[in-house]
Amino acid sequence: MERLTRDQVAEVLAHGDLEIVGRMRYSSNGAFFVQACRDGMEVPAVYKPRRGERPLWDFPDGTLFRREVATCVLSDALGWEVVPVTVRRVEGPLGEGALQRFVDHDPEEHYFTLLAGNEDRFRRFAVLDILANNTDRKGGHCLRDLADGTVIGIDHGLTFHPMWKLRTVIWDFADEPVPDDLLDDVRRVAHDVAHGALGDTLAELLSPPELAALGLRADELLHDGHFPAPDPGYHSVPWPLV
């Protein structure tokens, strides 16, 4: 069967019929494996309904699914496709939530096994995580898509906090200059957040302080031009690591 384009996947996820197959094991919030079907196209997906989110002290209740979608929007705007197609689904079997294409992968693989040979790809991960202020980039959130070998990232609910909270396993590039082509992408996206349609799209998913903080992080990265190093005295890596 011919592989669907990202636009086709988004169409199926946004408007297709959903059938819950089962609950995803080991998820701290409610996450369900579903089949989305539309016009003869089928897409396996992970459905994270708002009502299944566990309250957190540092993130507003009922917003994690929107952050999942916002991270995909940002990744696609950068042109990197680091995140599987993720859409906001207003109507679902369990109500409003995020729907993300399921990535068929080897569960024994993760950031630490995939790093060698994928350094440039993970530099994109690192920049995306800086911009999105990812507080939970575990090694197991980095997968190799068995369909085409692309390394891709999942689990972006803990992102876009207005305070700097970067926690990640991707510190291998600390203090290195960010490649010019990546900075060019960040510069273009920062302008679109401030003055273009991207800002309008993200404003439907993030609060005004969160959107403003995204712009500040982009400006700081462009000004400094280097990957940050772990902050002394701060828990800069998530736990568990994988």
The predicted structure's pLDDT at residue 185: 98
pLDDT band at 1 (very low <50, low <70, confident <90, very high): very low
**To the nearest whole number, what is the mean pLDDT of the chain?**
96
Helix or strand holding residue 219 (H, E): helix 208-224
Q: Is residue 233 a part of any domain in this protein?
A: no
Q: Is residue 229 a part of any domain in this protein?
A: no
Q: Is residue 231 a part of any domain in this protein?
A: no
Q: Find the mean pLDDT for residues 42-54.
A: 96
Give the CB-side neighbour count of residue 217, counting CA atoms within 13 A: 26
Q: How far apart are CA 84 and CA 62, in angstroms?
A: 21
pLDDT tens per residue, range 200-234: 999 999 999 999 999 999 999 999 999 999 988 88
The predicted structure's pLDDT at residue 2: 65
**Structure tokens belonging to residue 164:** 């700097």
Domain count, the chain: 1
| Locus of tokens 């993030």 | 206
pLDDT band at 8 (very low <50, low <70, confident <90, very high): very high
Q: Is residue 203 a part of any domain in this protein?
A: yes
Domain extent for 172: 6-224
